[in-house]
Chain A
Amino acid sequence: MTVYERDLGTPAVSADTQVTVTIDGMPITVPEGTSVMRAAALVDAAIPKLCATDNLDAFGSCRLCLVEIEGRPGTPASCTTPCQDGMVVNTQTPRLDKLRKGVMELYISDHPLDCLTCSANGDCELQDMAGAVGLRQVRYSDEGENHLSAGKDESNPYFTFDASKCIVCSRCVRACSEVQGTFALTIAGRGFGSAVSTAQDTDFLSSDCVSCGACVQACPTATLQEKSVIDRGVPSRKVKTTCAYCGVGCSFTAELRGDELVRMVPDKQGGANAGHSCVKGRFAWGYANHEDRITEPMIRDSIDDEWRVVGWEEAIQFAASRLKKIQTDHGIDAIGGITSSRCTNEEVYVVQKMVRAAFGTNNVDTCARVCHSPTGYGLKQTFGTSAGTQDFASVQDADAILVIGANPTDAHPVFGSRMKRRLREGAELIVIDPRAIDLVRSPHIGAQHHLQLRPGTNVAVVNAMAHVVVTEGWVAEAFVNERCDVESFRAWERFIALPENSPEALEETTGVPAAAVRAAAETYAKAGNGAIYYGLGVTEHSQGSTMVMAMANLAMATGNIGRSGVGVNPLRGQNNVQGSCDMGSFPHEFAGYRHVSDDSARALFDSAWGVSLRGEPGMRIPNMLDAAVAGKFRGLYVQGEDIAQSDPNIHHVEAALKAMDCVIVQDLFLNETARFAHIFLPGTSFLEKDGTFTNAERRINRVRPVVPPLSGMSEWGVTCAISEAMGYPMHYENAAEIMDEIAALTPTFAGVSFALLDEVGSVQWPCNGEAPMGTPVMHEHRFVRGEGQFVTTPYVPTDERSTRKYPLLLTTGRILSQYNVGAQTRRTQNTIWHAEDILDIHAADAEARGVADGDWIEISSRVGSTRMRARLSEEIPAGVVYTTFHHPVSGTNVITTDNSDWATNCPEYKVTAVEVRPSMGAGS
């Protein structure tokens, strides 16, 4: 039994004109431009094929898909022949049978006849096609020249390349180019010597390959094969679910053999990823069964004691009694909770409900505090709701793409590939970033404008761009007059036109030549469709919220809101950042972003939950930590988050955790925060969860259980048990009932249910009576707040300045193969690409300090120091250094400060004044 998706051979075509053809006597109407192969597949007259697959453009090389067309000579390839109105096609004739057998015979004559022992037995298109054409004998012996002894490349940790089985159909080469956009593969040689090769003729591991798996998925034979399939066998059943890594939220089919997961295959029907994947989602799922997993609850009286394994009941009672005692001794508000963007909407919802209803406090916050809380603030002020405006597909209609403080090819790689495709088609690219990220220059892509600004000057640069738009007369007056609050626009217009906001006035501050700013502004304003995509390089600043509003101003002023191809789009870091915020995780808001002081909203929740909720905001994470150090906050429930590695100024975080009487950690592993915990509650991996994730485009996707929870309990079930032990029972039979409650209490989710998601795959909120199938593009006819609100955004320099003692500015980010604090990816073979955090430093800065490439260095800020290796890099300018934060050993956040965004307290990870010195080694 196989589990594979139907392949229609060539991509779908959209056209205004329809044509009708007859295939093997069956009429079908298709959009003009549809291939004969696809039309035939749609009437179940599948034509044999090898080089064609429906996520790649037709290539016409294998000559197996030949057809006869009445009134035309010859036997054209059906993959490259478009349907024409009235066309009559025959796909099965004696002539075609003979031709196909001849073609197949030649393929098989140079292919190992080891089907019974081949790892792809049962999952091989060559095998299937040999059967389909009725091949019964091969007249050519293997004594002639052949490729049967070609070598096998096993360098990649996740898949092999067995050249002896390659039929040179070019599907892998085309997948790498068309789908992934990396161009790591090519066909080397000519004629009989043609062979798939990496671009530099190295092994796969040493090549430019990013291990996205597109080539493996495209391969019709066992040439490119997952090692997990080779080890475990061909899968026999499947479960559709959603990736648990970044905010792209790719849909996958988990393919199993019995109860053992064999591989994760990206889902062609996935709204976010359309069948593509990256190295993390495709291959890096081994952490789910890693030996470090803790699957039994543990408790201890003191963090100096050893852990004691206990049953669930004892752990839950222990946790509840400690929390209750703290509240008795120190007050209701002496405890709180943190929700996780790695957990499902349903899991997050019950945690915030427990904190508000069972704990009786609004001291609940989420890890979005340290990433996209400024997005929530800024977009709500300007547009009226806390969410990106577009779906991912919108980028295909963009004419100019403005990427600010984001690195999509590393941090959101599947969307990055989609963006690169549009750029190859001709969209213009503006990158605003201190680093020369991959998009600035990569195969067939080059940014028209790279504004390489000084860290901390985002607002100045975007204000300067807006100044150009206003003073050059490029404002979309009709849009502004019709859609926006004109009074606020006029005030903003007067502000932004001030000479102090001109590119020339700000050039010295930003380090960006005024002419470059003017050119970029013109490109964005005049392109037609201008789309902004941004990441944590926007939000994690002392003016993160100001910057979000500045971008929103720019988009509204140029009319780039409310249709496909435009918008302001946050690229969310974790898989469910959007969802965790939607679910009421912020201390000032209920689900659906309604303030706790809103009497009508509070009355709704009071009634549904049967409690009297507080109308005062609770503490944010940094407030909790400050209060803990002061002895006022003493108990914390941490759901799936590792604040002792991810949050800034780790020494301060550790001091706060040490000061608490009860720290509860719910996680897969004993993470850094668990060093300070009294109760450890085992969590569930995404393969064990039942619920939903909401991605960066507001798409709500189902997460389905692939295997049962290793701990024996769902996470939401554990939360409900604690809540009951605290005196507030929450009764749900399953996760679907939790979503039903969310829908009943949250207007933007009113139409969402597991039944709907199972029926249609996914929907994007708002999903309700006005938009029963969801909303791909927001603010199409009116802004959520009514009229778009312009907000004046004065540039205020951060207090974090380079000094004589700390002359360099450190900025941080992610790398493709690793994810956040690395709790998952460090427990996979992804470490082969990134085993440690490295400091990128400009050659001039390195030379001035006597640092050579690969040297150990010590990096110090005013709050701490750590050690790591240095790498000389041309991607960053002199005066700036860069590193990642994936490894606890280097502990990058030991040196980041507790500076934060003025409106949301999102930490200023992107600007830390540091000094770098040579060091003797990791422990010196």
Chain B
Amino acid sequence: MTDVTQQDARLVVMANQIANNVPVGGEVPHQVAEHMRKFWTGAMRADLQRIAEQSPNQLRQEVVAAVALLA
């Protein structure tokens, strides 16, 4: 695994963890997208969008949906 993919792997863990922990009751993709807008850099969101396009199966469905909202 290269260093760059280590960073990707970290983003995947973070994104899935957010989706798994946002409060129940709301729309999870919207909450995940909102969280990423508030706390992630544009570069991190762009990297996640690339990951979602290249290997969406690493991401929870809610994260993939959130990435679509970020576009």
Which residues of A are in contact with B by a Cβ distance under 8 Å?
333, 491, 495, 542-543, 546, 587-588, 595, 597, 616-620, 622-623, 626-627, 629-632, 791-794, 796, 898, 902-905
CB atoms of B20 and A796 under 8 A apart = yes
Among the 9-residue stretches B40-48, B49-57, B59-67, the one with 4 or more Cβ atoms under 8 Å from chain A is B40-48
Chain A, residue nearest B4 (CB): A630
In the complex formed, the residue of B with least CB distance to A494 is B25
Given A546-B21, A902-B17: A626 touches B7 (CB 8 Å cut-off): yes
25 A-B pairs whose Cβ atoms sit less than 8 Å apart in the complex: A491-B25, A495-B24, A546-B21, A597-B37, A597-B38, A616-B41, A617-B38, A617-B39, A619-B41, A626-B6, A626-B7, A629-B3, A629-B7, A631-B3, A631-B4, A632-B7, A791-B23, A792-B24, A794-B24, A796-B20, A796-B21, A898-B10, A902-B20, A903-B39, A904-B39
Beta-carbon contact of B18 and A627 below 8 Å: no
CB atoms of B21 and A903 under 8 A apart: yes
Enumerate chain A residues within 8 angstroms of B41, measured Cβ to Cβ.
333, 587, 616-619, 623
- Are A623 and B44 in contact, CB atoms less than 8 angstroms apart? yes
- Given A587-B41, A595-B38, A792-B23; 9 other pairs, CB 8 A cutoff: A495-B24, A546-B21, A618-B41, A626-B10, A627-B7, A629-B6, A791-B23, A792-B24, A903-B18
Q: How many of chain B's residues have a CB under 8 angstroms from any CB in A?
A: 22
Of the candidates A630, A631, A791, A903, which one forms a contact with B35 in the assembled complex, judged by CB atoms under 8 Å apart?
A: A903
With CB as the reference atom, state the residue of chain A lying closest to B36: A617
Whether B69 is near chain A, meaning CB under 8 Å from some CB there, is no
Cβ of B8 to closest chain A Cβ, rounded Å = 9
Q: Which residue of A lies closest to B10 (CB)?
A: A626
| B68 at interface by CB-CB < 8 Å | no
Residues of A within 8 A of B20 (CB): 796, 902
Determine the residue in chain B with the shortest Cβ distance to A459: B21
* Interchain CB contact under 8 A, B25 and A792: yes
**Which are the 8 A-B pairs with shortest beta-carbon distances?**
A902-B21, A630-B7, A902-B17, A792-B23, A792-B24, A626-B7, A630-B3, A630-B4
Chain A residues whose C-beta falls within 8 Å of the C-beta of B10 in the assembled complex? 622, 626, 898
Q: Give A627 to B7 CA distance when docked, in angstroms.
A: 7
A630 pairs with B6, CB closer than 8 A? yes
> In the bound complex, what is the Cα–Cα distance between A630 and B21 (angstroms)?
27
Q: Which residues of A contact B7 (CB under 8 A)?
A: 626-627, 629-630, 632
Task: Give the residues in chain B near A617, CB-CB below 8 Å.
Answer: 38-41
- Residues A902 and B43 in contact, CB atoms below 8 Å apart: no
A-chain residues with CB within 8 Å of residue B40 when the two chains form the complex: 617
A898 surroundings in chain B (CB, below 8 A): 10
Residue in A619, A627, A632 with the greatest tally of chain B CB atoms within 10 Å: A627
Would you give the shortest CB distance from A521 to chain B, in whole angstroms? 22
Find chain B residues with CB under 8 A from A491 CB: 25
Min CB distance, A364 to chain B, in Å?
A: 12
Q: Which residues of B contact A543 (CB under 8 A)?
A: 21
Instruction: State the B residues within 8 Å of A (CB).
Output: 3-4, 6-7, 10, 14, 17-18, 20-21, 23-25, 35, 37-44
Whether the pair A588, B4 counts as a contact (CB closer than 8 A) is no
Residues of chain B with a CB closer than 8 A to A546's CB: 21
Chain A nearest CB from B17 CB (Å) reads: 4
Complex CA distance for A149 and B37, rounded to whole angstroms: 75
**What's the nearest-Cβ distance from chain A to residue B25, in Å?**
5
**How far apart are the CA atoms of A792 and B18 in the complex, in Å?**
14
User: Which residue of chain A lies nearest to B16 when distances are taken between CB atoms in the complex?
Assistant: A902
Specify which chain B residues have a CB less than 8 angstroms from the CB of A587 in the assembled complex: 41
Give the distance in Å from the alpha carbon of A888 to the alpha carbon of B9 in the complex.
Answer: 29
Q: Contacts A542-B17, A627-B7, A902-B18; is A588 near B39 (CB within 8 Å)? A: yes
Cα separation A597 to B35 with both chains bound (whole Å): 13
Verify A588–B3 contact, CB threshold 8 A: no
Chain A contacts for B17, CB-based, 8 A: 542, 902
Q: Give A623 to B40 CA distance when docked, in angstroms.
A: 9
B42-A616 in contact (CB<8A): yes
In angstroms, how far is the closest chain A Cβ from the Cβ of B34? 11
Complex: A491 Cα to B26 Cα, angstroms: 10
Complex CA gap A632/B18 in Å reads 24
Instruction: Please tell me if the beta carbons of B44 and A793 are within 8 angstroms of each other in the complex.
Output: no
Which residues of chain B are near A791, meaning CB under 8 Å? 23
A792 to B6, CA, bound (A): 33
Residues in chain B near residue A620, CB distance under 8 A: 39
C-alpha spacing A491/B25, complex, angstroms: 8
- Bound complex: CA of A898 vs CA of B7, how far in Å? 12
Do B38 and A588 have beta carbons less than 8 Å apart? yes
List, in ascending order, chain B residues with CB within 8 A of A595's CB.
38
List B contacts of A588 (CB < 8 A).
Answer: 38-39
Q: How far is the CA of A824 from the CA of B10 in the complex (A)?
A: 34
Query: What separation, in Å, do the CA atoms of A674 and B37 have in the docked complex?
Result: 34
Q: From B2, which residue of chain A is reached at the shortest CB distance? A: A630
Residue of A nearest to B8 (CB): A630
> What's the least CB distance linking B32 to chain A, in Å?
10
A616 to B37, CA, bound (A): 8
Q: How far is the CA of A595 from the CA of B4 in the complex (A)?
A: 29
Q: Which residue of the partner chain B has the closest CB to A381?
A: B23
Q: How far is the CB of A53 from chain B (nearest CB, A)?
A: 52
Chain B residues near A793: list those with CB within 8 A.
23
Task: Tell me how far the C-beta of B5 lies from the nearest C-beta in chain A, rounded to whole angstroms.
Answer: 9
Instruction: Indicate if the CB atoms of A333 and B43 lie closer than 8 Å.
Output: yes
CB distance from B51 to the nearest CB of A (A): 14
Residue among B4, B18, B20, B39 with most chain A CB within 10 A: B39
Complexed CA–CA distance, A466 and B24 (Å): 16
Shortest C-beta distance, A664 to chain B (Å), equals: 21
Please measure, in the bound complex, the distance between the C-alpha atom of A246 and the C-alpha atom of B38, giving whole angstroms. Answer: 30
Max chain B Cβ within 10 angstroms of own Cβ: one of A495, A587, A595, A630: A630
Closest A residue to B18 by beta carbon equals A902
Separation of A902 and B23 alpha carbons in the complex (Å)? 12
* A905 & B14 in contact (Cβ 8 Å cutoff): yes
Contacts of A905 in B (CB 8 A): 14
Query: Given the complex of chains A and B, what is the CA–CA distance between A631 and B6 in angstroms?
Result: 12
Q: B42 — which chain A residues lie within 8 A by C-beta?
A: 616
Per the bound structure, the CA–CA distance linking A333 and B46 in Å amounts to 14
Give the chain B neighbours of A792 by CB distance below 8 A.
Answer: 23-25
Contacts of A796 in B (CB 8 A): 20-21
Question: Which A residues touch B25, using CB under 8 A?
Answer: 491, 495, 792
User: Given the complex, which residues of B lie within 8 Å of A597, measured CB to CB?
Assistant: 37-38
B14 → chain A, closest Cβ, in Å?
A: 7
Chain B residues with CB under 8 A of A632 = 7, 43
Q: How far is the CB of A175 from chain B (nearest CB, A)?
A: 48
- Among residues of A, the one whose C-beta sits closest to the C-beta of B11 is A626
CB distance from B46 to the nearest CB of A (A): 11
Cβ of B9 to closest chain A Cβ, rounded Å: 9
* B7 → A minimal CB distance (Å): 4
* Separation of A495 and B23 alpha carbons in the complex (Å): 10
Please indicate the chain A residues that have their CB under 8 angstroms from the CB of B44 in the complex. Answer: 619, 623
> Whole-angstrom distance from the CB of A636 to the nearest CB of chain B?
16
State A631–B39 Cα separation when bound (angstroms): 22
Smallest CB separation, B42 vs chain A (Å): 5
Q: How far is the CA of A515 from the CA of B13 in the complex (A)?
A: 37
Q: Which residue of A lies closest to B6 (CB)?
A: A629
Kindly provide the distance from the CB of B27 to the nearest chain A CB, expressed in whole angstroms.
13
Please name all residues of chain B whose beta carbon is closer than 8 Å to the beta carbon of A631 when the two chains form the complex.
Answer: 3-4
Contacts of B18 in A (CB 8 A): 902-903
A166 to chain B, nearest CB (A): 60
Instruction: Report A-chain residues with C-beta under 8 Å of the C-beta of B3.
Output: 629-631
Chain B residue nearest to A495 in the complex (CB): B24
A659 CB → nearest B CB, Å: 8
The answer for the CA separation of A622 and B42 in the assembled complex, in Å, is 16
Neighbouring B residues of A902 by C-beta, 8 Å: 14, 17-18, 20-21
Q: Return A102 CB to nearest CB of chain B, in Å.
A: 75
CB neighbours of B4 from chain A (8 A): 630-631
A903→B31 CA distance, assembly (Å): 11
Q: Bound complex: CA of A627 vs CA of B40, how far in Å?
A: 13
By beta carbon, the residue of chain B nearest A546 is B21
Chain B residue nearest to A795 in the complex (CB): B21
Q: Which residue of A lies closest to B24 (CB)?
A: A792
Which interface residue of A629, A898, A904 has the most chain B CB atoms within 10 A? A629
